Chain A
């Protein structure tokens, strides 16, 4: 669980760096399995139409339903839908519950012809086979991946309707299927070195193994220090196989939580999604679109030409009602921060704004922020280094008297709390002034103000650990 939270935190941190948000092209009620058609803006999904589960074909550019199929769907839950671009058929994988436990097992494989609107069961599993984590079509074979590194995928031959071995070499593992290239990206798990690197290869449908194509690094390290982050990825030495990174990034669906970060390219796409916090599952994606679900809805994004503006789904009248409803619960108290010290240090007027939000009849929350006015223009003081933009040009920070003045100004803007008062102090080191605002667990927190040779302030930083420079 901690790992998942760390991953999500990492993905969220990445988001803050990525300024462009990608809004959904459209959203629908949460669907079951979904499948995208490569090179065409089409999605097949299992949706509830008037309360009845149906297979629906949608135009991804607008979200409109092209066709809702009347054919009866499998009785058991469909976990995966995959399309075979060669014969135009869809394949449904269904799951069943173990008779004596809650364990979910592979149930059956169906084919569906969208042209003939015909559903046909092509295989019924009699054994207790675990449900696949992902399914692909490669040539005339369905590739059911059960586990990434511990087991080989199960290969179902669509012509013979029988299972066949993935490889004669039991040490080979599939990193991803490569449907367009008619093969698989594989590695030999006995070749992993102590740094989690292993050479990888391409295996064709007729099981011929290529020469070594490069190295796959499986290390996943997530840190708050960006440079320490590492996600699994390829170092490709044969440029004919550069496509592998993209194919790997868009494989192994569905992905949820921790699993998203196993594909760096997918994690990047996820990070740019405007409503990423609503998402619990990425159902599928191709080079143009990404389909994700969560909180009862399914969202479709164009990841090639991202949707920068939020699509308007609410009428102007309703939006006005919503804004008024929210505004009626919020009030603002505005007070000028009055002081003879502030104008000496900063060229701005400051106002303390307290926002009170009514929660219910008795409860409310409060939060405050500072607004400053410079040259008749208002701005929010969003962070402490921003103070540099409003320092009085005539103010010099050259001696203890200047520092006392600066500290007084800070006290006006950021009044110390009861336990912080005793720590308020300052000291100088070379051209830097240190204004301590609090000490907690032996860590000094406060402002570091740099000056030039004329004692003019050139930089204002705020550090939670001032000794750690």
Chain B
């Protein structure tokens, strides 16, 4: 019995004792919490995005005011006919490349590079380069520990994009 009492006291002492909140309190808290989240959004304006992709993009910051430290989460959201969702990776690019876009010259390649720079915000962009080898375009975005990082875009013989791959170690 003594042991049991000790365990109960210890549990009460060292653990946060919580219980569910009633419905009215729950509703009031929901309302309060919603005011603790601030959303800042901006349209990403870019001729390159408009020319290459069939979607609208937003830079979004979610600022949890409850933290009180000015921190925020950043993301890119994409809006097209299918609705709005977070833009996360290169796989999401190919379905939204406009039908008539052909990656077969340097001018279009430069626009692709802008697209990568604008949509992949976490990339370290420095000393950008574009290298074309047959149906493959290599977009060097930067360097990380001596390794070139960026994107490899493969096209068919007409310049239609077939594959986009991110690489942390580009082989030039």
Using CB atoms and an 8 Å cutoff, list the residues of chain A in contact with chain B: 15-16, 27-30, 48-51, 102, 280, 295-297, 310, 313-314, 318-319, 321-323, 325-326, 330, 332, 334-339, 351-353, 355, 367, 369, 371, 378, 380, 382-383, 408, 411-413, 415-416, 421
Closest 4 CB pairs of A and B: A335-B18, A382-B68, A296-B118, A296-B117
Complex Cα–Cα for A383 and B41 (A): 28
Q: Is the CB of B21 within 8 A of A28?
A: no
Chain B residues with CB under 8 Å of A310's CB are 40
A380 touches which one: B21, B68, B79 (CB < 8 A)?
B68
Chain B residues with CB under 8 Å of A383's CB are 68
Interface: B97 (CB within 8 A): no
Q: Is the CB of B18 within 8 A of A337?
A: yes
Q: Is the CB of A415 within 8 A of B33?
A: no
Minimal beta-carbon separation of B83 from chain A (angstroms): 8
| Count of A-B residue pairs with CB < 8 Å | 137
Most buried by B among A15, A319, A383: A319
Minimal beta-carbon separation of B87 from chain A (angstroms): 11
Known contacts A314-B43, A326-B60, A380-B36; can you find 4 more A-B pairs with CB under 8 A? A51-B51, A51-B111, A321-B83, A367-B64
26 sampled A-B residue pairs with Cβ under 8 A: A27-B42, A28-B45, A51-B48, A51-B110, A51-B111, A295-B125, A296-B118, A297-B44, A313-B41, A313-B42, A314-B42, A314-B58, A321-B83, A326-B39, A326-B62, A334-B20, A336-B19, A339-B17, A351-B29, A369-B66, A378-B28, A380-B65, A382-B67, A382-B68, A411-B14, A416-B14
Interface residues of B in 20-49 (CB under 8 A from A): 20-21, 25-26, 28-30, 32-33, 36-37, 39-48
Minimal beta-carbon separation of A388 from chain B (angstroms): 16
A16-B70, A411-B13, A411-B14 known; A296+B21 contact, CB < 8 A: no
Interface: B158 (CB within 8 A): no
Interface: B85 (CB within 8 A): yes
Interface: B15 (CB within 8 A): yes
Q: Is the CB of A313 within 8 A of B29?
A: no
Closest chain A residue to B117, Cβ basis = A296
Chain B residues with CB under 8 Å of A326's CB are 39, 60, 62
Chain A residues with CB under 8 Å of B46's CB are 29, 296
Complex Cα–Cα for A197 and B62 (A): 46
Minimal beta-carbon separation of B69 from chain A (angstroms): 8
Complex Cα–Cα for A318 and B40 (A): 12
Interface string of B76-102 (1 = CB under 8 A from A): 010100011110000000000000000
Chain B residues with CB under 8 Å of A49's CB are 47
Complex Cα–Cα for A66 and B109 (A): 29
A313 touches which one: B16, B43, B51, B107 (CB < 8 A)?
B43
Chain A residues with CB under 8 Å of B19's CB are 335-336, 338
Q: Is the CB of A322 within 8 A of B29?
A: no
Most buried by B among A16, A310, A322: A322
Q: Is the CB of B43 within 8 A of A421?
A: no
B48 touches which one: A48, A353, A413 (CB < 8 A)?
A48
Complex Cα–Cα for A411 and B113 (A): 54
Q: Is the CB of A353 within 8 A of B16?
A: no
Complex Cα–Cα for A380 and B28 (A): 14
Q: Is the CB of B16 within 8 A of A415?
A: yes
Interface: B147 (CB within 8 A): no
A352 touches which one: B18, B39, B42, B60 (CB < 8 A)?
B18
A323 touches which one: B29, B39, B48, B118 (CB < 8 A)?
B39
B77 touches which one: A28, A51, A322, A380 (CB < 8 A)?
A322
Most buried by A among B16, B45, B121: B16
Closest chain B residue to A378, Cβ basis = B32
Q: Is the CB of B58 within 8 A of A29?
A: no
Complex Cα–Cα for A363 and B121 (A): 21
Complex Cα–Cα for A367 and B70 (A): 16
A378-B29, A380-B68 known; A337+B84 contact, CB < 8 A: no
Closest chain A residue to B123, Cβ basis = A295
Interface residues of B in 111-145 (CB under 8 A from A): 111, 114, 117-118, 121, 125, 127
Closest chain B residue to A277, Cβ basis = B74
Minimal beta-carbon separation of B117 from chain A (angstroms): 4
Closest chain A residue to B32, Cβ basis = A378
Minimal beta-carbon separation of A447 from chain B (angstroms): 17
Complex Cα–Cα for A330 and B62 (A): 11
Closest chain B residue to A339, Cβ basis = B17
Complex Cα–Cα for A332 and B18 (A): 15
A16-B70, A371-B29 known; A325+B85 contact, CB < 8 A: yes
Q: Is the CB of A297 within 8 A of B60?
A: no
A318-B58, A319-B41, A322-B41 known; A334+B26 contact, CB < 8 A: yes
Closest chain B residue to A321, Cβ basis = B84
Minimal beta-carbon separation of A172 from chain B (angstroms): 34
A29-B48, A352-B18, A380-B36 known; A318+B41 contact, CB < 8 A: yes
Interface residues of B in 136-160 (CB under 8 A from A): none
Closest chain A residue to B20, Cβ basis = A335
Minimal beta-carbon separation of A200 from chain B (angstroms): 34
Q: Is the CB of B45 within 8 A of A27?
A: yes
A297-B118, A322-B60, A369-B67 known; A336+B14 contact, CB < 8 A: no
Q: Is the CB of A338 within 8 A of B29?
A: no
B18 touches which one: A29, A102, A280, A336 (CB < 8 A)?
A336
Chain A residues with CB under 8 Å of B66's CB are 353, 369, 371, 380, 382
Most buried by B among A296, A335, A416: A296
Chain A residues with CB under 8 Å of B67's CB are 369, 382
